């Protein structure tokens, strides 16, 4: 055989052998899934609830318009410190001041009328006393005259005169009593009119006082949106009055954050929190939960659920939580954006796995995998007994677990979890320290079946130029 034929046969045999090897390798790796793995370990883990909001003082007040008028003077500016009772601004007071003077004059006249009525009442009471005395004297004279007339010691004319004098004295007493009752009624009426006038004066003075706005609390003037010359109107029914300014007491500062309804059961008063303020980058301020809101707030409108009866039942809801800053930075202003990380739970030396390693499979799917892998490593569902309804049916058909690497295969193992940290979650049953589990990729974990052969590739991913940029 010629040499070139021998070379050709050898090359052909090598090519065929390579094809057979490649096909065999591809066939062998046909169902193999490339995954990343990690080991179950122990570490300290802290559960955090992160929520955003803004800085708020513990006590603040919005000063609103209390009457009609035009602003004539603003005595403060933003950033000024004020004490309770300090003058903030004034509105025009010509008409209210005139009303007070007029009502004061009316009250003075009423007081003079009361004094006159009181004197008249006293005079009529004296007249009644005098008429009573005159009646008693006339009664005694008449009784004495009756005795003398019976004995014939006085004339009939004198007897009749005594009788008439008695009748006149009795009539005079009745008239005096009537005048006394009238005088007392006039005195009472004058007093009532005086009290009414005094009440009206209090009302007019209140209107006048409302033309000068004073600080209801001590604090810093944090916002003044009005200017001299603008008109002020009071609140009417559901409409608030003109917004004039805000005073904030920054002695106690809170981070008012909105916590999602799914996280709120874990948040309790007294829990420690780390607060970051956007205006102070790189700084963390310690705080604690001061109080937790009791009613949900609709995320779109900002109203409580009881205030908006037509709210969509599927609309997202939050709860307001106040985190009190232990040592707020100097110069903190209301309204600064902030984020609070509330520590809701902590475990020391807990058995943990990466959160992304958790997978959920249906019981029917796991049962099918178990039947398929009877001759190899299967999956045991005894580790996670499902809750059942009163009729014995399972409440949820899904099983939570992880894929454990056993003999080159990924085996689904149900687990029970505890608290979750930022990247890891506590495992309370189903695994032990040192177990090798599948941690990625996300695509592989989403489609991985129990008993599937795997190939471990824990090398760092290579970034393309586009992803690197």
Q: Are the beta carbons of 128 and 173 closer than 8 angstroms?
A: yes
Distance CA 220, CA 250 (A): 7
pTM above 0.85, yes or no: no
When pLDDT is averaged across residues 34-39 and rounded to a whole number, the result is: 92
Confidence of residue 18 (pLDDT cuts 50, 70, 90): low
- Kindly report, residue by residue over 91-103, the tens digit of the pLDDT: 999 999 999 999 9
Distances (CA, A) of 387 to 366, 394, 401, 428: 17, 6, 16, 17
Q: Which CATH architecture has domain 50-59+249-346?
A: Beta Barrel (2.40)
Question: Any idea which of 6-15, 191-200, 437-446 has the lowest mean pLDDT?
Answer: 6-15
Q: Peptide bond preceding 421: is omega within 30 degrees of 0, i.e. cis?
A: no
Distance CA 279, CA 292 (A): 25
CATH of domain 62-93+211-232: 2.40.50.100
CB atoms within 10 A of CB 316: 13
CATH of domain 33-45+350-460: 2.40.420.20
Q: What average pLDDT does the structure give for the chain? A: 85
Three-state DSSP class for residue 175:
helix
- CA 207-213-217 angle, to 5 degrees, is 125
Number of H helices, E strands in the chain: 6, 21
Question: Any idea which of 158-162, 397-401, 448-452 has the lowest mean pLDDT?
Answer: 158-162
Distances (CA, A) of 30 to 103, 408, 455: 102, 14, 11
- What confidence score (pLDDT) does residue 383 get? 40
Distance CA 214, CA 425 (A): 55
Provide the 8-state DSSP code for 326: S
Q: Are the beta carbons of 384 and 354 closer than 8 angstroms?
A: no
Confidence of residue 155 (pLDDT cuts 50, 70, 90): confident
Q: Are the beta carbons of 341 and 48 closer than 8 angstroms?
A: yes
φ/ψ of residue 220, rounded to 5:
-110, 140
Highest averaged pLDDT of the listed ranges 16-25, 58-67, 114-123, 285-294: 285-294
Confidence of residue 351 (pLDDT cuts 50, 70, 90): very high
- What confidence score (pLDDT) does residue 144 get? 86
What is the distance between the terminal CA atoms of the chain, rounded to a whole angstrom?
Answer: 62
Distance CA 37, CA 21 (A): 28
Per DSSP, the residues of 356-409 read GG-EEEEHHHHHHHHHHTTTS-----TTSPPPB-TTS-BS--EEEEEEEEETTE
- Kindly report, residue by residue over 236-266, the tens digit of the pLDDT: 767 788 999 999 998 899 999 999 999 999 9
- What confidence score (pLDDT) does residue 462 get? 59
Place of tokens 């209390």: 66
- What confidence score (pLDDT) does residue 428 get? 93
- What confidence score (pLDDT) does residue 367 get? 86
- What confidence score (pLDDT) does residue 17 get? 67
When pLDDT is averaged across residues 345-369 and rounded to a whole number, the result is: 91
- What confidence score (pLDDT) does residue 283 get? 94
Q: Are the beta carbons of 340 and 51 closer than 8 angstroms?
A: yes
Q: Of 314 and 28, which is predicted with more confidence?
A: 314
Instruction: Give residues with Cβ within 8 angstroms of 316, minimum separation 6.
Output: 260, 261, 298, 299, 300
The two beta strands, 231-232 and 69-74, are antiparallel
- What confidence score (pLDDT) does residue 15 get? 66
Strands (DSSP E) found in 212-363: 212-214, 219-223, 231-232, 243-260, 272-277, 285-292, 297-298, 317-325, 337-354, 359-362
pLDDT at residue 31 greater than cutoff 70? no
Three-state DSSP class for residue 224:
coil
Distance CA 290, CA 292 (A): 7
- What confidence score (pLDDT) does residue 366 get? 84
- Kindly report, residue by residue over 220-240, the tens digit of the pLDDT: 999 999 999 999 998 876 778
- What confidence score (pLDDT) does residue 247 get? 94
Distance CA 260, CA 30 (A): 45
Confidence of residue 12 (pLDDT cuts 50, 70, 90): low
* Domain range annotation of the chain: 33-45+350-460, 50-59+249-346, 62-93+211-232, 95-209
Question: Any idea which of 109-113, 308-312, 358-362, 456-460 has the lowest mean pLDDT?
Answer: 308-312
- What confidence score (pLDDT) does residue 8 get? 67
Place of tokens 């009316």: 106
Q: Are the beta carbons of 257 and 338 closer than 8 angstroms?
A: yes
When pLDDT is averaged across residues 341-355 and rounded to a whole number, the result is: 94
Q: Are the beta carbons of 14 and 411 closer than 8 angstroms?
A: no
């Amino acid at each position: 055989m010629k040499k070139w034929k021998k070379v050709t046969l050898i090359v052909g045999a090598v090519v065929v052998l390579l094809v057979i090897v490649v096909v065999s390798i591809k066939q062998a790796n046909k169902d193999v899934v490339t995954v990343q793995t990690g080991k179950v370990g122990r570490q300290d883990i802290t559960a955090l609830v992160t929520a955003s909001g803004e800085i708020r003082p513990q006590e603040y007040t919005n000063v609103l318009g209390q009457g009609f008028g035009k602003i004539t003077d603003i005595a403060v500016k933003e950033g000024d410190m004020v004490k309770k009772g300090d003058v903030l601004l004034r509105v025009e007071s010509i008409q209210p001041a005139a009303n007070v003077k007029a009502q004061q004059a009316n009250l003075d006249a009423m007081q003079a009328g009361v004094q006159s009525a009181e004197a008249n009442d006293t005079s009529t009471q004296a007249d009644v006393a005098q008429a009573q005395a005159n009646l008693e004297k006339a009664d005694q004279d008449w009784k004495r005259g009756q005795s003398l007339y019976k004995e014939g010691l006085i004339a009939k004319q004198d007897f009749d005169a005594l009788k008439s004098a008695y009748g006149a004295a009795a009539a005079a007493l009745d008239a005096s009593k009537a005048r006394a009752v009238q005088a007392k009624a006039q005195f009472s009426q004058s007093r009532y009119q005086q009290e009414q006038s005094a009440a009206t004066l209090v009302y007019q003075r209140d209107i006048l006082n409302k033309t000068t706005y004073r600080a209801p609390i001590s604090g810093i003037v944090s916002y003044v949106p009005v200017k001299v010359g603008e008109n002020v109107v009071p609140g009417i029914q559901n409409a608030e009055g003109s917004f004039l300014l805000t005073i904030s007491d920054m002695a106690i500062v809170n981070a008012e954050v909105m916590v999602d309804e799914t996280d709120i059961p874990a948040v309790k008063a007294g829990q420690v929190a780390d607060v970051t303020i956007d205006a102070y980058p790189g700084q963390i301020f310690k705080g604690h939960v001061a109080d937790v809101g009791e009613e949900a707030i609709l995320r779109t409108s900002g109203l409580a659920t009881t205030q908006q009866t037509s709210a969509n039942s599927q609309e997202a809801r939050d709860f307001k939580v106040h985190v009190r800053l232990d040592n707020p930075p100097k110069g903190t202003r209301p309204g600064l954006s902030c984020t609070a990380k509330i520590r809701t739970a902590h475990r020391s030396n807990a058995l943990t796995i990466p959160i992304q390693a958790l997978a959920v499979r249906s019981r029917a799917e796991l049962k099918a995998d178990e039947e398929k892998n009877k001759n190899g490593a299967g999956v045991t569902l005894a580790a996670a007994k499902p809750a059942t309804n009163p009729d014995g049916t399972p409440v949820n058909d899904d099983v939570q677990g992880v894929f454990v690497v056993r003999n080159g295969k990924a085996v689904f193992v149900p687990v029970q979890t505890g608290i979750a940290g930022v990247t890891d979650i506590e495992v309370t049953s189903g695994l032990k320290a040192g177990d090798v589990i599948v941690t990625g990729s996300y695509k592989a974990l989403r489609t991985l079946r129990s008993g599937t052969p795997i190939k471990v590739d824990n090398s760092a991913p290579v970034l393309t130029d586009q992803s690197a940029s």
